[in-house]
Amino acid sequence: MRKLREQEPDGFAEFWDCWRPHMRHTDGRGDARKAFRKHILDGADPQDIIDGARAYIRNHLSLPPEKQAFIPLAASWINKEAYLDWCEKERAYQSRLQEQKSNVVQMAPGPRGKTPFLLKWEAMQQKKSESA
């Protein structure tokens, strides 16, 4: 008998795309899907889980390599409701990025002069043509 594949809750694919590149080899999509669904049915906002995962992963990658070895299983991380701690950090980070983008002014490229190498090369070519 073949088991029917469960439908993924809205937002789970986005969460999994964020988590999967950094997951442990023992992590499982099925367990993560069940935990995700359970928390959504209990009233959690899917965007909180997604934003929390993004912030957690970004923080995890900023750690020294010896501390990056441990990352919890996705289902464990969701079941601990760790996303509640991280989602606001992600939103604050995104708002800072937006503020920085609004402060950036595109500069016009300056005129490009001839490089020292090009000047020497042209002088050498001119000497060759004069001597020939």
What one-character-per-residue DSSP string does 45-96 give? -HHHHHHHHHHHHHHHHTS-GGGTT----HHHHHHTTTHHHHHHHHHHHHHH
pLDDT in tens, 53-103: 999 999 998 888 888 788 899 999 999 999 999 999 999 999 988 888 777
Contacts of 20 (CB under 8 A, 6+ apart): 29
With pLDDT > 70 as the criterion, what percentage of the chain qualifies?
94
pLDDT of residue 68: 79
pLDDT of residue 110: 74
More confident residue, 66 or 33: 33
**Residue 116's pLDDT band (cuts 50, 70, 90):** confident
pLDDT of residue 115: 85
With 0-12 / 13-18 / 19 or more C-beta atoms within 10 angstroms meaning exposed / middle / buried, residue 25 is exposed
Residues 47, 94 contacting (CB under 8 angstroms):
no
Task: Give the separation between CA 19 and CA 94, rounded to whole angstroms.
Answer: 18
* Summary mean pLDDT of the chain: 88
Handedness of CA 62, 66, 67, 68 (dihedral sign): positive
Residues 49, 8 contacting (CB under 8 angstroms):
no
Q: How many CB atoms lie within 10 A of CB 75?
A: 19
Q: Which helix (H) or strand (E) holds 98?
A: helix 83-102
Q: pTM of whole model > 0.85?
A: no
pLDDT mean over 18-35: 91
